[in-house]
């Protein structure tokens, strides 16, 4: 049966795989200094509306986070981020391994807010060099628990950071889903205009692997990141010999020729499909009587389930179970379902039937 464990269960979108095959025997220089990477960067700059953006390709999401945070902070600084952001739980101390302290707010759902960040800032103001200095904010869009940031939420964070001369980094492992989510009013050009750096995730959006790191060199810490990133990529063991593999993939995903008439290139089309599947999945699950844990139009959907239901949904459909405090006091857990470019929309009915059977 179709699994909803995550958005990296399959290989690559066919167009992308085909491009890799087509260019396979070209001889290129290594380390991302080839023409494919150059053209991919050029296409990304055009797409995000930032002519002088510095673009590098990083093999994975944790590596991208290590590099962004290392580039945007001093050793004695740290990123302000939500308590359940990815680096706080799922990266085995990778950021601490780079010597940085994470400054986690009490914000729930991985959703960073200025109000959550304030106490951290004030603590530094009170303690100065006896404590870690905030150097940046980190947010992921969509957030760890699926939230799609609104333009107002994002601007409030950027305003807050700007006033304090902090860098803004957006972990875009699921950026494509966030930008194409139903009702979303925050677009990639807006992010590019205000963030110091952000990623355009490939791994979770139809590529074999790869995250495009986009840096705005005109932002205060942006120029420093542009200087630091090439060295730190190599030092972190994240410089691919065959960097061109990522160049070819991004070149394809952002190729204007992939526009299917929708006005969008392949990169967004893949995410739009994932989101459509997610909404259908939500329709099936709520139709069966399952209550959403949060309301989101992104490609992760979360529902309150009993532990027994959870076991069944995990076993049959790859749902991932999480412990969250149940407001109903009923001992329920949260089941996560993730859709992707590869999800078969029609096949979701199977899940719907099973869900209705569980609640039948």
Give the angle subtended at the CA of 210 by the CAs of 206 and 213, to the nearest 5°: 120
Q: Which of 145, 167, 212, 158 is nearest to 190 (CA)?
A: 158
Q: Pick the closer one to a copy of itself by CB: 48 or 170.
A: 170
Q: Pick the closer one to a copy of itself by CB: 297 or 340.
A: 340
Chain centre to alpha carbon of residue 122: 29
164 token code pair: 């304090």
Smallest gap from Cβ 272 to a copy of itself, in A, equals 20
Across the beta sheet with 77-81, the strand order is 54-58, 211-215, 197-201, 167-171, 133-140, 77-81, 103-104
Q: Pick the closer one to a copy of itself by CB: 54 or 209.
A: 209
Q: Pick the closer one to a copy of itself by CB: 28 or 306.
A: 28
Sign of CA dihedral 342, 251, 240, 299: negative
Q: Pick the closer one to a copy of itself by CB: 76 or 357.
A: 76
Q: Pick the closer one to a copy of itself by CB: 65 or 297.
A: 65
Sign of CA dihedral 155, 159, 165, 166: negative
Q: Pick the closer one to a copy of itself by CB: 129 or 262.
A: 129
Q: Pick the closer one to a copy of itself by CB: 156 or 321.
A: 321
Helix 61-72, helix 222-235: angle, nearest 10: 130
Smallest gap from Cβ 94 to a copy of itself, in A, equals 5
Classify residue 55 as left (phi > 0), alpha (psi -120 to 50) or beta: beta
Smallest gap from Cβ 155 to a copy of itself, in A, equals 29
Q: Pick the closer one to a copy of itself by CB: 20 or 38.
A: 20
Smallest gap from Cβ 263 to a copy of itself, in A, equals 28
């Amino acid at each position: 049966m179709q699994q909803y464990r995550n958005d990296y269960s399959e290989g690559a979108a066919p167009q992308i795989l085909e491009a890799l095959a087509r260019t396979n025997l070209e001889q290129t220089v290594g380390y991302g200094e080839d023409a494919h990477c150059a053209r991919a960067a050029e296409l990304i700059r055009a797409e995000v509306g930032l002519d002088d953006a510095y673009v590098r390709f990083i093999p994975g999401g944790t590596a991208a986070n290590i590099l962004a945070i290392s580039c945007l902070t001093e050793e004695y600084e740290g990123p302000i981020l939500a308590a359940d952001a990815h680096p706080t739980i799922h990266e085995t101390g990778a950021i601490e391994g780079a010597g940085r302290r994470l400054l986690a707010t009490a914000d729930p759902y991985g959703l960073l807010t200025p109000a959550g960040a304030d106490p951290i800032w004030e603590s530094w103001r009170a303690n100065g060099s006896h404590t870690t200095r905030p150097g940046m904010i980190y947010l992921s869009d969509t957030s760890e628990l699926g939230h799609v940031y609104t333009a107002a939420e994002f601007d409030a964070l950027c305003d807050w950071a700007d006033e304090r001369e902090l860098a803004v980094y957006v972990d875009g492992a699921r950026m494509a889903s966030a930008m194409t989510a139903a009702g979303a009013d925050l677009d990639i050009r807006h992010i590019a205009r205000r963030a110091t750096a952000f990623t355009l995730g490939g791994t979770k959006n139809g590529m074999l692997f790869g995250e495009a790191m986009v840096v705005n060199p005109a932002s205060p810490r942006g120029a420093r990141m542009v200087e630091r990133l090439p060295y730190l990529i190599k030092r972190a063991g994240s410089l691919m010999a065959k960097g061109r593999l990522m160049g070819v993939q991004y070149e394809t995903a952002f190729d204007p020729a992939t526009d299917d008439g929708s006005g969008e290139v392949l990169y967004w089309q893949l995410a739009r499909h994932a989101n459509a599947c997610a909404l259908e999945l939500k329709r099936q699950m709520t139709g069966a009587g399952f209550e959403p844990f949060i309301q989101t139009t992104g490609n992760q959907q979360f529902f309150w389930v009993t532990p027994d239901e959870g076991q069944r949904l995990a076993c049959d459909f790859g749902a991932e179970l999480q412990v969250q405090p149940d407001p109903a006091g009923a001992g329920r857990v949260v089941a996560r379902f993730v859709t992707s470019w590869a999800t078969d929309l029609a096949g979701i009915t199977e899940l719907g039937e099973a869900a209705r059977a569980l609640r039948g």
